[in-house]
Structure 1
Amino acid sequence: MKNNMNQHLIAIDLDGTTLNDQSQLSSETILTLRKLAADGHIVSIVTGRPYRISGQFYDQIGLKSPMVNFNGALAHIPHQQWQFEYQQNIDRQIALDLLTHRQDLGIHTMTAENKMHLWANQPSHVMKDFFPTHLATNEVLNSLNLTSNPTALTLQYEPNDKQALIGRINKNYGANVDIRVWGGPHSILEVVSKGVHKDAGIEHIAKAYGIAQQNIIAFGDEDNDSEMISYAGRGVAMSNAIESIKQIANDVTQDDNDHNGLAHYLQDYFKIDVPSQFAV
């Protein structure tokens, strides 16, 4: 169906959207996405997660299409070379400077990573999916191990130091980086290259496959989905999405992420039948 006017790019966020509240894929969601991919549509995971903790969902669905990580800083096709792959990095000196001043800035655990590698100043049991619980010697974040520019930095900070930390980053590096403050109970922010957002990733994929903007349908639930939802020809907010995402979306799913809301919406929109009782 390549370059067919009916081909769509289906961009799917993971947490709070494609995954349920247990961070799992339901059988119905997997079957729905497999059916759409088999029909010739480009199903792309577009997530803030690094590849190391999102690749398993890509493989579980059985995708062969591009995926986007780090909120748009990396676009690639796992397990193969893709001529349109890109990775937008930040200067390693920014990482090393923050590492040097981490105590003054109230930073507890800090990671730097790219497509295939992760470095951290220390192990952590806070959000153990995102932060490493143990480190090999060559994974300790320092000037000897970090020999290239990382794609993203993740900082776990003292809540009372939030504004000082953001202010320091903006003052010293604001021309080169953007900051994303994570939602949820943990005090975590992410630092990426200036102008990196999910919409850049889906625009890049759409151009690579010759898909018109009006044939992009994107699903999300949180603030880091806002640019993607706005850019897509049809931006869809999950029923469990934050209010600001619902306000900019073209539509809202009837069901939430814990009740196959993404799958049900896609089944209705593309008029496909997926037997939900079949296990994968």
Structure 2
Amino acid sequence: MSAKLIFSDIDGTLINDDLQVMPKTRDAIRQQIIKGNIFIPASARLPKGIMTAVGQILGVCPMIAYNGALALDETGRALITRFFDAKKAAEICRYVDKQQNGSAWNIYSGYVWYCAQEKSSLIKHEEEIVNVKATPAKIDQIEKLQGVHKALIMGKPQELDRMQKELTEKFPDLSFVRSSKTLLEVVLKGVSKASAVKILAQEYKVPLENCIAFGDNYNDEEMLEEVGQPFLMGNAPDELKEKFGAGHVTLDNNHDGIAQVLAKIE
């Protein structure tokens, strides 16, 4: 097996349940970089949140943020930046507030993460995970942003199921994808980790069949389909494991699943 570009989701994939990159995985990735291969995190996180995790391995790297709405090279130059209209983002925020079901909205524009002025426990928990502080804002302020890379709705699984259906009908030009049972990601339709992977492969002049990707959830599915060497973590949903087959499933994120695969790369 060989690879030139190594793409990896972060939460549930690169890091364990304690939010750490395990030493064996860290060393396996560093060895691949020494060999000349390029490691590219691909996450729903904002750039600062990506480096909270990846900074445990190396200081700088290319990255795919916001599920593909933003991609940067190792110098910080934007390779992809796809916004949706801030007025639509504000509408989503007002919709979430009207539900009064404990859900929380988040808006990401550039390097800034915005949330409601009164931070819910869901927001505070996310801040602890990504080690980044959200900026409290009024919805009227959200409406005046130049554009929005991503919105994120946090809430109970059943409530998100219902809201996902309603919002998909209300905003046909946006994509609503679950990154976990309690997280609903919102980006411009056509934006995905897969589309970003394709652009970065072209940027680095590497055929997609020579790219490897790791993921653990539904927002990774298209990315895994795009590359020649896809691998699901052992903690991925059974439905995805069945789709990709046992030969494309590695150990879970708490047992160095990435390192197990990278050990086979020549």
Identify the TM-score tier after normalising by the shorter chain.
Answer: 0.7 to 0.9
Partner in structure 2 of residue 241 of structure 1: 236
Matched letter for residue 149 of structure 2: T
1:44 is paired with a residue of what secondary structure? strand
Question: Over alpha carbons, which structure has the higher Rg?
Answer: 1
Provide structure 1 residue ranges, at least 5 long, that are not aligned to the other structure.
1-5, 272-280
Q: Is the 8 A contact 1:95 1:112 kept in 2?
A: yes
Partner in structure 2 of residue 275 of structure 1: none
Partner in structure 2 of residue 42 of structure 1: 38
Q: Is the 8 A contact 2:39 2:61 kept in 1?
A: yes
Q: Is the 8 A contact 2:178 2:218 kept in 1?
A: no
Moved more, 165-174 or 34-43: 165-174
Partner in structure 2 of residue 257 of structure 1: 253
Partner in structure 1 of residue 169 of structure 2: 171
| Aligned ranges 1:63-78 → 2 under 5 Å | 64-77=60-73
Q: Is the 8 A contact 1:105 1:161 kept in 2?
A: no
Partner in structure 2 of residue 100 of structure 1: 94
In the superposition, the TM-score normalised over structure 1's length comes to 0.82
The alpha carbon displacement at 1:57 in A equals 2.1
Q: Is the 8 A contact 1:106 1:161 kept in 2?
A: no
Q: Distance in 2 between matches of 1:17 and 1:159?
A: 21
Q: Structure 1 residues 202, 40: CA separation in 2 closer, same or farther (over 3 Å shift)?
A: same
In the superposition, the TM-score normalised over structure 2's length comes to 0.86
Partner in structure 2 of residue 278 of structure 1: none
Partner in structure 2 of residue 277 of structure 1: none
The alpha carbon displacement at 1:224 in A equals 1.0
Q: Structure 1 residues 238, 181: CA separation in 2 closer, same or farther (over 3 Å shift)?
A: closer
Q: Is the 8 A contact 1:124 1:131 kept in 2?
A: no
Partner in structure 2 of residue 116 of structure 1: 111
Task: Summarize deviations over 1:153-198 as a string: whole Å, max 9, x none.
Answer: 1123465644553343223211x200013424x3x31211102211
The alpha carbon displacement at 1:99 in A equals 2.7
| Aligned ranges 1:55-204 → 2 under 5 Å | 55-62=51-58, 64-77=60-73, 80-82=75-77, 85-106=79-100, 108-121=103-116, 122-126=118-122, 128-130=124-126, 139-144=136-141, 146-157=144-155, 161-162=159-160, 164-174=162-172, 176-184=173-181, 186=182, 188-204=183-199
Q: Is the 8 A contact 2:69 2:187 kept in 1?
A: yes
